[in-house]
Structure 1
Amino acid sequence: MPRESGTAVVAGVPVDTRHWIGGERVDSAGTFTDLSPIDGSELAEIARGTATEAAAAVAAAKAAFAGWAATPPAERARVLHSIADGVERRLDDLAIVETTDNGALLRSHRRGVMPRVAHNFRFFADWLLTLGHDDFETRGHTNHVDWDPAGPCVLITPWNAPLMLATWKVAPALAAGNTVVLKPAEWSPLTASLLADIAAEAGLPAGVLNIVQGYGAEIGDALTSHPDVRRISFTGSVPTARRIAASAAPQLTPVSLELGGKSPLLVFADADLDLAVDLAVEQYDNAGQVCLAGTRLLVEEAVAEEFTRRFTEKASALRQGDPRDETTDIGPVIHTRQLEKIDGFVRRAVSAGARTVIGGQPRGGNFYAPTLLTDVAQDSEIVQEEVFGPVLTLQTFTGEDEAVRLANDTRFGLAATLVTGDRERADRVSAQLVAGTVWVNCFFVRDLQAPFGGSRQSGVGREGGTWSFDFYCDLKNTVTAPKGWQDRG
């Protein structure tokens, strides 16, 4: 007999496990089981959507679009601020549910991630009210630019930072006057459901935000191929992005794709080595499940031995364990399948000649030891492919030209981190790196008004600030002649 979705109690917090469509909870004929990566326990039976629920969600978004698009920007902004208020009121609930669901550190969720969720709504609400372009003249004619809402948007989000990355898309799409169908990742769907409750309590009209759950092959394809969808934004893997692009192509639906990375972290001999080591060890954050992570450590040969010694000492002191414990530095990876994938990368690399400096093996359950590999070839799988786990490689270089060549020698171009004490070198090298974001003597400093996205196979398009509105809107230029008006005086 099939198991039923309904309401699950996760870490003491009730979570509705049905879809949210047109302002109502909607069940499906089937379910899928959501497991906690912390201990493998069953958290909930989640409504398993199909093309039927996809069609219903898009229809609800389409029906609600005209009303929300016509809502004055100030009122849209007020509702988004109200959603942010709701996030802040339920911050502890959101934090513990997401930690239980995806294994990231509870302290990070409480102190950084969930406050950022609220900030996503506040930022785009405020940016909406400043959005504009000065009128300009062409041979006496006036040009006026408008950002018109595009229509229903499908947003497909990953499991590594579920709510933060979902609201990074939801907030600007709603601010722009669009309606939304959000499909969270099936490995971490729970906080998206809580967002539906928060949005409804904030007064967001029915159908403006719809949330459907399920597998990509069963519901995702039906969403991305739907002729009434006007925008698709996806964060995830390159293979899935190819499927989405192919699915959207017949309708010419614009897509924004934020994909994988194999980012370099370059350390020059003139760098502050303590800073460089701190930044390198930080790449193990969220058990290495961060698309922006600088997983390829490129260290100038003159300081490589000392860097490796300090790195090994600091990384070996990291505490791995239950992410709900305040003293834990690294939690589990998201799923047994992800752990097996990570371990496969490491085993193949070692078989090919790589040397393990630290780690290199599972630690029971979904825990994988923080790992550093050296003696790796530039064209090897471990250097060229995204592992998405706590696995770093270390290579050396002897000068700027070699550093830049190694840094740029993958099919990705999402981010890069550069550590140097020479400001002119920082400028020279940064200018040559192929990346959507370059950090110099810092890491993961992100401002929502900056463009975000990747080059090469790390993505298509940019979002953030006005760039988000450029994507989620149809830009219109109205050109008005100076003559031809009737005199009504």
Structure 2
Amino acid sequence: MMAYQDKAYWASKADGLKIEHRLFIDGRYQEADDEGCFPVSNPANEQLLTQISRAREVDVDAAVRAARHRFEQGDWSQASPSARKQVLLRLAELMEQHKEELALLETLDTGKPIRHSLRDDIPGAIRTIRWYAEAVDKVYGEIAPTGNEALALITREPIGVVAAIVPWNFPLLLACWKLGPALAAGNSVVLKPSEKSSLTAIRLGALAQEAGLPDGALNILSGFGHEAGKALALHGDVDCLTFTGSTGVGRLLLEYAGRSNMKRVWLEAGGKSANIIFADCPDLAKAARASAAGIFYNQGQVCIAGTRLLIEHSIKDAFLSELKKAAADFKPMDPLDPESTMGTLIDSDHHGSVCRYISEGLEEGALLALDGRDQTGNFMGPTVLEGVRPNMAVSREEIFGPVLAVTTFTTEQEALTLANDCKYGLGAGVWTRDLNRAHRMARRLKAGSVFINNYNDGDMTVPFGGVKQSGNGRDKSLHALEKFTELKTTWLALD
């Protein structure tokens, strides 16, 4: 059983924590070229944590230069898969040794509960690095079925310099979803974490160097999207851009890639996933617990959160009763308290945005079944709006907070139509005893992942990503390696 210690333990560790604030370029920490910085505060109490370096275009140029030099040197890109494997396994081992420090940095930076950072985020990041380390020497090329006069080899090669731009909701975990396959394949990477959550990424630089990753193979730039992110997307020496974040920013990155060198762009963007509860749901209490976790975990700041709850009309009251019981398990508390199951929203601006969505939903006629706004600071509890119509903003737009929009349906076709009536297509859940219905729905739902009698279960063996405006490409599984490699055909004419 994992030991979470107590609140005093984590508060003491926080008081003694030394936070690295500089950019990591070509194997060393350094200030931004213009020595610019910006403040980072703890969203739970608004106290200043540190001032971190603000990368701009000149710093991006330096990082890309270092990455390109390392790639062309070949000591990482051309190293044997088994050699890269050993370095990445060592990195995972070092992350394991520093998991409490990394978990604490994540919690202080984002306001998420320490129990979740320690139980989910950091172990998930470690598993990702370890999984790709173990996978990379088990991926084979192909031989095409040619005639006897030729031999055709199909091989995969690293794509080159990869820019990875990641969000603030799962900072280290989602960074490792990019870093694991990109580094394992032999690429050099420039990582830009969100300006709202850079601390674990910055710390990772030193661990990667200690693990034996060559200088320049991993560079880390803290900074703003409109400065460092834009410069990476426009850079002519970046071969691939992988991004997790909003659909709006994803559109800009596609534009920047087209304006520059047509770099490969892989996007995991927004979501507004439907969680569909049929009257023949095998276990209402279990479905309610999974539905509550699907929207209230991480304060609802989850791209694949089950934000739209579609309930068959005949069980609406019974299910909402169970849902409210399950929601009681998510009570906002001090994130450093190991008993906390719900922390804060990322900052006051985002808190204000979530509150405005709730107010707008009420103005449009939704009913407040559960109100989580009676909190201080950036905290917000579970909120449930029922009577939501499909044309309401709370049903169509990504709120990214603990706000559940409830709509009822009467037929399977109506449920399918409601679920697919959305510009996003990241995930969907279906709860039913009917195996035929489960397969029918799974085939027709426009989503990258469909969960039957669960919500958002899975592990590293399955791909993650969406369709429509939720993006393209996939994270996780062996399929992620496809994003960071190029196929090459070698045709040998035989005498």
TM-score range, shorter chain: over 0.9
User: Matches of 1:105 and 1:446 in 2, distance apart?
Assistant: 22
Note the alpha carbon deviations across 1:197-248, whole angstroms, 9 max, x for none.
Answer: 1101101110000001111112111111111000000000011111111111
| Matching residue's letter, 1:13 | L
Deviation at 1:319, TM superposition (A): 2.1
Which residue is equivalent to 1:178?
187
**Two-structure CA RMSD over aligned residues (Å):** 1.3
Deviation larger for 342-351 or 102-111: 102-111
Which residue is equivalent to 1:259?
269
Q: Does 1:31 align with 2:31?
A: no
Which residue is equivalent to 1:5?
none
Which residue is equivalent to 2:485?
473
Q: Does 1:376 align with 2:388?
A: yes
| Matching residue's letter, 1:16 | E
Which residue is equivalent to 1:4?
none
Which residue is equivalent to 2:289?
278
| Matching residue's letter, 1:263 | S
8 Å contact from structure 2 (residues 142, 155) kept in 1: no
- Find 1:236's aligned residue among 240, 245, 267: 245
Deviation larger for 403-412 or 422-431: 422-431
| Matching residue's letter, 1:274 | A
User: Matches of 1:35 and 1:15 in 2, distance apart?
Assistant: 12
Q: Does 1:124 align with 2:135?
A: no
User: Matches of 1:236 and 1:112 in 2, distance apart?
Assistant: 20
- Find 2:88's aligned residue among 65, 69, 80: 80
Aligned length: 475
User: Matches of 1:154 and 1:258 in 2, distance apart?
Assistant: 14
Which residue is equivalent to 1:146?
155
Q: Secondary structure at the match of 1:188?
A: coil
> Identity, % of aligned pairs?
37
Deviation larger for 361-370 or 433-442: 361-370
Deviation larger for 386-395 or 366-375: 366-375
For 1:29-428, what aligned pairs fall within 5 Å after superposition? 29-66=35-72, 67=74, 68-140=76-148, 141-250=150-259, 251-271=261-281, 272-282=283-293, 283-428=295-440
Deviation at 1:10, TM superposition (A): 5.1
Deviation larger for 458-467 or 58-67: 458-467
Which residue is equivalent to 2:4?
none
| Matching residue's letter, 2:103 | A
Which residue is equivalent to 1:18?
22
Q: Runs of 4+ in structure 1 displaced over 3 angstroms?
A: none
Note the alpha carbon deviations across 1:414-469, whole angstroms, 9 max, x for none.
Answer: 00111111122111111110100111111222222322211000012223333222
Which residue is equivalent to 1:6?
none
User: Matches of 2:277 and 2:23 in 1, distance apart?
Assistant: 47
Q: Secondary structure at the match of 2:424?
A: coil
Q: Secondary structure at the match of 1:298?
A: strand
| Matching residue's letter, 1:121 | I
In structure 2, list runs of 5 or more residues that go unmatched: 1-12
Note the alpha carbon deviations across 1:107-166, whole angstroms, 9 max, x for none.
Answer: 122122211111111111111111114423222333322111111110000000000000
User: Matches of 1:356 and 1:257 in 2, distance apart?
Assistant: 34
Q: Secondary structure at the match of 1:139?
A: coil
Which residue is equivalent to 2:472?
460
8 Å contact from structure 1 (residues 319, 327) kept in 2: no
8 Å contact from structure 2 (residues 296, 330) kept in 1: no
Deviation at 1:317, TM superposition (A): 4.7
User: Matches of 1:159 and 1:19 in 2, distance apart?
Assistant: 18
Deviation at 1:99, TM superposition (A): 0.6
User: Matches of 1:10 and 1:21 in 2, distance apart?
Assistant: 27
Which residue is equivalent to 2:8?
none
Note the alpha carbon deviations across 1:361-384, whole angstroms, 9 max, x for none.
Answer: 251110112100012211111100
8 Å contact from structure 1 (residues 10, 43) kept in 2: no
Deviation at 1:45, TM superposition (A): 0.2
Deviation at 1:79, TM superposition (A): 0.3
Q: Secondary structure at the match of 1:69?
A: coil
8 Å contact from structure 1 (residues 11, 97) kept in 2: no
Q: Secondary structure at the match of 2:46?
A: coil
Q: TM-score under structure 1 normalisation? A: 0.95
Q: Secondary structure at the match of 1:219?
A: helix
| Matching residue's letter, 1:86 | L
Q: Secondary structure at the match of 1:137?
A: coil
Deviation at 1:11, TM superposition (A): 4.5
Q: TM-score under structure 2 normalisation? A: 0.94
8 Å contact from structure 2 (residues 193, 222) kept in 1: yes
Q: Secondary structure at the match of 1:160?
A: coil
Q: Secondary structure at the match of 1:458?
A: coil
Deviation at 1:102, TM superposition (A): 0.5
| Matching residue's letter, 1:310 | E
8 Å contact from structure 2 (residues 177, 475) kept in 1: no
